């Protein structure tokens, strides 16, 4: 008898001939995510993956392992499962016990049994297993009633070489395994939006690195710590993140000095994109990611986005583009970044900001203002002085 974890995969199943590649990545990501908790064996079987502890002490970390697996992209749901001998007496005894434990914790009053027989050598067929096991569970837990149409919980039995029994299905995030869709560079501020944007693209299997523009001493050391903390939360989904911290003060001072006040934000954003693209190229990332949403602020009107976008050749992913702030906040709460994002440390965008930034910038005019800047050297220096922090869980 052993506690194992049943992992269900989603979209990977649709991958046809490429499926083994996707599955292999997922299995590797599972091992990376929970390998440090104890020795495990990861066993693939049809559209499922079973994670089995090899050592007994693993019991101790069982809940932590389940929690971590719900964060691995490519997994649709997980179930804590008991693996037992395929012997009907053992199945009856363990099932009744499991249900007893369950109803001590939850106020369920009805159930049904769903049995699947994958092992044709087992002497009973699925409907018979469901029926017999249902009545045995009921005999031992008579406060429950059987309800085949609308039960409070379903008790699952899968008879294979061994038998697996469980009742709980914990939803995970789905998506694709990280590393199956190349790499992208996330522009990570300390705000609410950009961590969510990074999470959404990572969910599609894209490996993420992040770049943060830092304006010390106009922004504090704590503002940097906040971004590191956000990157850590993202890393709990992605496995690891390389965070590039770019010193941005000299560039901002130069822009502040030479350009019209109402163009500061847009010019600053153009320089950010340019630097992000250069760093992305140097690490083999093929796209940029931002947390922009159309119309949210002056720098995110359709005109501003066009003027910003034109600086770079890479595709820019803006997964929040059509989302309302409330929808982004909901998502930030779900993924666990919200509480950190709302800590009140200033961001470089909020320090050097115009009272009335342009909402309809014209490219020719912006290009003219940029001619006044002596920025090439400053950009080079900022990139050379970039600090790289490797963040793992």
- Cβ neighbours around 352 below 10 Å, total: 18
* Residue 26 labeled ligand binder: no
For residue 118 the two structure tokens come to: 């994958």
Closer to ligand ATP by Cβ: residue 40 or 305: 305
The burial of 277, by beta-carbon neighbours within 10 Å (0-12 exposed, 13-18 middle, 19 or more buried), is given as buried
From Mg ion, ligand ATP, none, interface partner of 192 (C-beta below 5 to 8 A by class):
ligand ATP
* Residue 240 labeled ligand binder: no
* Residue 291 labeled ligand binder: yes
Query: How many residues at the interface with Mg ion, by CB under 5 A?
Result: 3
Taking alpha carbons only, the member of 132, 7, 120, 14 closest to residue 65 is 7
For residue 48 the two structure tokens come to: 């499922």
* Residue 204 DSSP symbol: B
For residue 24 the two structure tokens come to: 């292999």
From ligand ATP, Mg ion, none, interface partner of 369 (C-beta below 5 to 8 A by class):
none
Is 279 in a helix, a strand, or coil? helix
Closest approach, Cβ 224 to ligand ATP, in A, equals 10
- C-alpha pair distances (Å), 181 with each of 14, 250, 283, 344: 15, 36, 15, 35
Q: CA–CA separation, 277 vs 294, rounded Å?
A: 21
Closer to ligand ATP by Cβ: residue 30 or 188: 188
From ligand ATP, Mg ion, none, interface partner of 213 (C-beta below 5 to 8 A by class):
ligand ATP
Q: CA–CA separation, 76 vs 62, rounded Å?
A: 19
Closer to ligand ATP by Cβ: residue 158 or 193: 193
Pick the piece of the chain touching Mg ion (CB under 5 A) from 111-119, 131-139, 182-190, 236-244. 182-190
- 214-223: b (≥16 Cβ within 10 Å) or e: bbeebbeeeb
Q: Which residues are CB-neighbours of 279 under 8 A, at least 6 positions away?
A: 185, 211, 244, 246, 383, 386
Closest approach, Cβ 212 to ligand ATP, in A, equals 4
Closest approach, Cβ 288 to ligand ATP, in A, equals 9
CA angle 105/107/113 to nearest 5° reads: 90
* Residue 244 labeled ligand binder: no
Closest approach, Cβ 379 to ligand ATP, in A, equals 15
Closer to ligand ATP by Cβ: residue 180 or 293: 293
Tokens 């009742």 sit on residue: 167
Q: What is the CA radius of gyration of the chain?
A: 26
319 binds Mg ion (CB under 5 A): no
Taking alpha carbons only, the member of 117, 143, 139 closest to residue 128 is 117
- C-alpha pair distances (Å), 196 with each of 203, 211, 263, 317: 10, 15, 27, 12
Closer to ligand ATP by Cβ: residue 78 or 188: 188
Closest approach, Cβ 262 to Mg ion, in A, equals 19
Closer to ligand ATP by Cβ: residue 291 or 361: 291
- Cβ neighbours around 264 below 10 Å, total: 21
Contact string 340-359 vs Mg ion (x = CB under 5 A): -------x------------
- Of 191, 205, 319, 361, the residue at the interface with Mg ion (CB under 5 A) is 191
* Residue 367 labeled ligand binder: no
Closer to ligand ATP by Cβ: residue 72 or 280: 280
Name the closest residue to ligand ATP (Cβ). Answer: 191
Closest approach, Cβ 293 to Mg ion, in A, equals 12
Q: Which residues of the shown chain bind ligand ATP in the complex (CB under 6 A)?
A: 187-189, 191-194, 211-213, 290-292, 296-297, 299-300, 347-349
- Of 189, 290, 337, 340, the residue at the interface with Mg ion (CB under 5 A) is 189
Closer to ligand ATP by Cβ: residue 130 or 194: 194
Q: Which residues are annotated as a binding site?
A: 187-188, 212-213, 269, 291, 300
Residues that bind Mg ion (CB under 5 A): 189, 191, 347
Q: Which residues are annotated as a binding site for ATP?
A: 187-188, 212-213, 269, 291, 300
């Amino acid at each position: 008898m052993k506690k194992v974890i049943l992992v269900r995969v989603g979209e990977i199943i649709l991958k046809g001939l490429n499926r083994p590649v996707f599955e292999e990545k997922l299995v590797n990501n599972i091992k990376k995510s929970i390998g440090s908790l104890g020795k495990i064996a990861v066993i693939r079987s049809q559209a499922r993956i079973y994670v089995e502890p090899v050592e007994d002490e693993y019991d101790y970390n069982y809940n932590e392992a389940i929690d971590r697996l719900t964060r691995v992209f490519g997994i649709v749901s997980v179930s804590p499962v008991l693996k037992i001998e395929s012997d009907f007496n053992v199945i009856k005894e363990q099932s009744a016990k499991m249900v007893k434990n369950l109803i001590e914790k939850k106020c369920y009053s009805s159930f049904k049994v769903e049995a699947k027989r994958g092992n044709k050598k087992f002497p009973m067929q699925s409907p018979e297993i469901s029926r017999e096991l249902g009545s045995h569970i009921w005999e031992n837990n008579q406060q429950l009633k059987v309800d085949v149409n609308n039960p409070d919980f379903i008790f699952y039995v899968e008879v294979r070489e061994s038998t697996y029994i469980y009742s709980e299905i914990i939803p995970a995030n789905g998506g694709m395994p990280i590393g199956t869709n190349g790499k992208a560079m996330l522009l990570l501020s300390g705000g609410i939006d950009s961590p969510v944007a990074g999470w959404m693209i990572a969910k599609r299997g894209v490996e993420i690195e992040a770049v943060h523009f830092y304006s010390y001493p106009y922004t504090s050391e704590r503002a940097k710590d906040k971004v590191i903390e956000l990157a850590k939360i993202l890393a709990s989904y992605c496995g690891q993140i390389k965070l590039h911290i770019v010193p941005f003060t000299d560039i901002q001072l130069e822009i502040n000095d030479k350009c019209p006040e109402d163009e500061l934000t847009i010019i600053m954003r153009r320089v950010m994109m340019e630097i992000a693209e250069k760093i992305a190229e140097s690490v083999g990332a093929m796209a940029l990611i931002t947390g922009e949403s159309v119309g949210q602020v002056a720098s995110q009107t359709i005109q501003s986005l066009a003027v910003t976008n034109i600086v770079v050749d890479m595709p820019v992913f803006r997964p929040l583009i059509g989302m309302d702030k409330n929808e982004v906040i909901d998502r930030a709460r779900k993924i666990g970044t919200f509480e950190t994002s709302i800590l009140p440390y200033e961001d470089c965008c909020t320090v050097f900001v115009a009272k009335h930034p342009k909402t309809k910038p014209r490219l020719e005019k912006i290009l003219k203002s940029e001619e006044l800047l002596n920025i090439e050297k400053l950009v080079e220096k900022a990139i050379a002085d970039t600090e790289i922090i490797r963040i793992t869980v």
